[in-house]
Amino acid sequence: MGKDFTFAKVRLTAQAFANLLKRTPGNKEIAVMINYDSRYLSETFAQKAAQILTLNKIHVFFPFRDAPTPAMALAIIQKQMRGGICFTASLNEPIYNGIKIFTANGTPALPSKTLLLENEIKKIAASFRFKHQYSDPSLIHYLDIRSPYLNHIAATVHLDIIKHARIKIIVDNLFGTSRDYLDRLLSDHGIEITAIHNYSDSYFGGVIPSCSKSNLRELARLVVSKGADIGMATDIDSDRFGIIDSRGRFIDANLIMPPLIEYLITVRKMSGDIVKSVSSTDQITRVAERHQRKVHETPVGFKFLADMLSSRNVFIGVESTNGAALNGACPCRDGILFNLLICEMLAHSQLSLPQLLNQFARRFPPLFNRETQVAKSSPRREKFHSLLQEKNFSFPGLELLKIKYIDGIKFIFTNSWLLLRESGTSNVIRICAEAPSLRQAQQLLQTGRKLLE
């Protein structure tokens, strides 16, 4: 912030966004939602963008304070807005900020849409000059998005099951937007919880507010010391979840989502197919096959899952990075919702989380999903792109069944796979693998490294 991300660039982007909105068909007045996370200057950047939009006669709706992106998405849909802007740098350090564009469906814009915005920015950049003018107050509206969102969650999750099970819950808001949402919802329904980091801190207590194992160590210690049944966390935007079991172990999305999907199919009777990112565990496919459901795969990135959710007979979309979405009133990634659905599954089972996972593993033998990365040097980039063109591959000791090019290159073997793909957020090539044993998964990662040498 202040170097690459500036007020001038925010105003330019807002003007380009306004230009695109005014070109879209429709007779009604244009309205958009502007949201922001709890990092330093996010609210100020949001106000600068609103100023430009109102000068273009566009109605701007603000939440009363920084808000979860799923609450923003639901408001866009319910109020039939043309889209929205959220100021957030998600899982990056406090010195960074960024802009996410949302569509009228409440989902992140696909690359084809963001490319239009980038081209419009380039088109107007040379001639754009901002002459200070005050925002038109008649076009700025403050909206309670918290109450409708919590009502939506309460109608989706069986909170009574959680309450009657009397399980002990600890919530870690990680200084983000879920404070007074996830913790308050549980408390208001008579469910006893302990909440930590449930206040705003622009520097996130010195950690990056993501639901990773390293960032949830304090939550893990507290779960064990207080004898809690589950620890639940959300990232800064509240669109990803984090789970700690009663032993203080971090439970990866690839481990918890397959049993949750089976619970939603068998107990909650949810119908439809499943969409998952190409790097997500094949345990999801095993569950789907057991219950005669089809699985669709997309490139990594929730925007691709969201597009599939809205265009296919799909009831759930799953990422490997602790993100998931249900199709329905708001088909967006929602960490608050999935924390509560996992908690509901635990309460319904009347088992501890380790017992529940062990029971699942007896029916679906474990798969070990691991990931590493290498810096994207020029030689490695060239080698990676040559792999995409190569036709003949040999893997001693492995039977190559298929090659997929959904996102990079994915080699499918008997009971295992290896994926190499360029990161969309950093200058690295990611290497992912899954196999029936940790040793085999690590060997596949080494194989992936050698392919880039």
Q: Where are the domains of the chain?
A: 7-144, 149-363, 368-451
Rounded CA gap, 313 and 419, in Å?
27
Rounded CA gap, 155 and 11, in Å?
39
For the chain, list residues with pLDDT below 70.
1-3, 27, 134
Which residue from 265, 168, 269 is spatially nearest to 224, judged by alpha carbons?
168
Indicate the angle between helix axes 353-363 and 253-266, nearest 10 degrees: 80
Domain 7-144 -> CATH class:
alpha beta
Number of H helices, E strands in the chain: 15, 19
Rounded CA gap, 441 and 92, in Å?
28
What's the pLDDT at 195?
Answer: 96
Q: Is 312 left (phi over 0), alpha (psi -120 to 50) or beta?
A: beta
Contacts of 388 (CB under 8 A, 6+ apart): 405, 408, 409
Q: Are 331 and 325 in contact (CB under 8 A)?
A: yes
What's the pLDDT at 1?
Answer: 54
Superfamily of structural domain 368-451: Alpha-D-phosphohexomutase, C-terminal domain (3.30.310.50)
Contacts of 280 (CB under 8 A, 6+ apart): 253, 254, 257, 318, 319, 320
Asked whether the domain spanning 368-451 has the same topology as the one spanning 149-363, the reply is no
What's the pLDDT at 228?
Answer: 97
What DSSP character marks residue 241?
A: E
Look at the domain 149-363 and name its fold.
Alpha-D-Glucose-1,6-Bisphosphate; Chain A, domain 3 (3.40.120)
Rounded CA gap, 31 and 83, in Å?
8
Concatenating the DSSP letter of every residue in 19-30 gives: HHHHHS--SSPP
**Which class for 145: exposed (0-12), middle (13-18), buried (19 or more C-beta within 10 A)?**
buried
What's the pLDDT at 27?
Answer: 67
- Token pair recorded at residue 337: 């919702």
pTM of the predicted protein model: 0.93
- Token pair recorded at residue 363: 């029916």
State whether residue 371 is helix, strand or coil.
strand
What's the pLDDT at 208?
Answer: 79
Whole-angstrom CA distances from 21 to 29, 58, 100, 101, 105 are 11, 9, 15, 12, 14
What's the pLDDT at 111?
Answer: 83
What DSSP character marks residue 91?
A: T
